[in-house]
Amino acid sequence: MLIDLTGRTALVTGSTQGIGAAIAKGLAGAGAEVAVNGRTPESVAAALERLRKDVPEGEFRAAPGDIAEDEGAARVLSAVPSVDILINNLGIFGTRPALEIDDAEWRRYFEVNVLTAVRMTRAYLPGMRTRGWGRIQNIASDSAIATPGEMIQYGMSKTALLAVSRGFAKEAAGSGVTVNSVIAGPTHTGGVEDFVYELVDPALPWDRAQREFMRLHRPQSLIQRLIEPEEIANMVVYLSSPFASATTGGALRVDGGYVDAITP
């Protein structure tokens, strides 16, 4: 299957590292011009330097700004006034005992993990609908379905994101625009390495720490390893393509079989 996104413009929020950077790389490799977003110009510039080395033929542009804030979101929309593909990837996570999560933290997770996706979708969906083509994807998590006891504030936000995706898919009905969620399973990123070492012996070398984490905390994974960011990106690139024209309003899993269900 040859996916060609030449002539399409994409914005990937939170794309200076991890899954977001892998998605930016994948979309650029398929021919899209990709706007890279991070909170600061410096982080975006560093990410662009890495991405241009990885995809020398790729087209990239800078879109710095903290989209969890009105001013930052305005800067991004000014830098990228129109897109064909919107990937709402920005998200935060962390562990906290349930009874120690205060109101401010509940609000922060909702604002960063949910409202940023709503804000960007509200900005770009009308133009996509007018042009008769567009792709919007919200990067969710297995935690949306299998709520982790150690971070229910994160699970809550990802569950809400599934509802947001389904609702906006209905708003885009019949327009040529598709809206989907991608449910990412436990994925190997720098931030997740830190998270793993919060839960297992920090003296263990990484390979053993990863296996111990999966054995103790994610035993239902059918691949029994962390997913690589590029594996998430593969699904995103497909959903961004014309081949996925009949897939909308869905929650598609790239979770290594973590969620023990035959439907999301």
Can you tell me the distance from the alpha carbon of 41 to that of 204, in angstroms, rounded to the nearest whole number? 36
Give the neighbor-by-neighbor strand order of the sheet with 59-62: 59-62, 33-36, 9-12, 85-88, 134-141, 177-184, 251-254
CA-wise closest residue to 80 among 127, 112, 26, 133: 127
Residues 6+ apart with CB under 8 A from 56: none
Can you tell me the distance from the alpha carbon of 124 to that of 122, in angstroms, rounded to the nearest whole number? 6
The two tokens of residue 152 are 């229910």
Q: DSSP labels for 233-252? A: HHHHHHHTSGGGTT--S-EE
Sign of the C-alpha dihedral, residues 134, 139, 142, 145? negative
Active-site choice (109, 154, 238, 258): 154
Active-site residue, 197 included = no
Q: How many CB atoms lie within 10 A of CB 194?
A: 11
What residues are labeled active site? Answer: 154
